[in-house]
Amino acid sequence: MHTPGFCAIIVAGGKSSRLGNTPKAGLSNGTHTLLDRALLAVSQADACVVVGPETLPVPNDVLLTREDPPYSGPAAAIHAGAEKLAQHYSGIGRPAPTWCIILGVDTPNIAPAVSLLAEHAGAAAGHETGFWGVCDGVYQPLVGIYRYAPLRQVFSAGSTNASVRSFLKQLHPQEVELSPAHTADVDTWEQARALGFDSPQWSSY
């Protein structure tokens, strides 16, 4: 199945309050951090932006930006990421890819789901504007692929402390059933231990 070109936004700036404010992006399995795994999952992206603190250690070829104000939620983070990508593509003088992956930083086994979403985008008809993951009947708003232009437009106003799902619903995304093994996330220390990502690489941002 055809896999289209895409850019990517990784949301990595939450407070991790259920982890005692330990930076979630830096939790490690001894080899990779959660941020590393998220970046690996979108390694085929034409451009990738991580939205999080300015001190996050990202590779030189990865963009970094921050939602404004900080900790104002994932909707604000997606808005910031979409605008950073627009700035990037304007700077290099070419248009952004048609599609954009949205991904949280806390799903270390998400790579197969990203591939599946990209395959659905590659097979999309012209009227389809996005696909988001559903697992056991639960929508996964931070696991999806959307047409970049309408995604940017939808998040262009009023995204501070807003519901991500309420914005994404405006794109009428199609559902893609994903495996719970791939969408398992880290919100608590119990989940971190279960997934093997319970070794903090840094204590604060």
**Residue 16 confidence (pLDDT):** 83
- pLDDT score at 17: 84
User: For residues 152 and 45, what is the distance between their CA atoms, to the nearest angstrom?
Assistant: 17
How many structural domains does the chain have?
Answer: 1
The pLDDT value recorded for residue 169 is 94
The answer to whether position 1 is within a domain reads: no
Helix (H) or strand (E) holding 50: strand 48-51
Report which DSSP code applies to 201. Answer: S
Residues 6+ apart with CB under 8 A from 82: 9, 100, 148, 151, 152, 155, 156
In a domain, 70, yes or no: yes
Q: What is the pLDDT of residue 205?
A: 63
Question: Which domain CATH number covers 160?
Answer: 3.90.550.10
Distance CA 17, CA 27 (A): 14
* pLDDT < 70 positions in the chain: 1-2, 203-205
> Each residue of 124-167: pLDDT tens digit?
988 899 999 999 999 999 999 999 999 999 999 777 778 999 99
Give the pLDDT confidence score for residue 38 in this predicted structure.
Answer: 98
Q: Which long-range contacts (CB under 8 A, 24 or more apart) does 118-127 make?
A: 118/3, 118/4, 118/6, 118/44, 118/145, 119/1, 119/2, 119/3, 120/145, 120/174, 120/176, 121/3, 121/4, 121/6, 121/145, 122/1, 122/2, 122/3, 122/4, 123/1, 123/2
Asked if residue 42 is part of any domain, the answer here is yes
Write down the pLDDT at residue 1: 54
Q: Are strands 130-135 and 63-65 parallel, antiparallel or unpaired?
A: unpaired
Distances (CA, A) of 26 to 110, 129, 152, 202, 203: 17, 33, 28, 6, 8
Residue 46 domain-assigned (yes or no): yes
pTM for this one? 0.96
Q: Is 204 inside a domain boundary?
A: no
pLDDT at residue number 26: 95
CB 18 within 8 A of CB 44: no
Domain span holding position 187: 6-199
In a domain, 148, yes or no: yes
Of 41, 34, 62, 59, the C-alpha closest to 50 is 62
Query: Rounded CA gap, 45 and 7, in Å?
Result: 5
Count the Cβ atoms, other than its own, within 10 Å of residue 25. Answer: 26
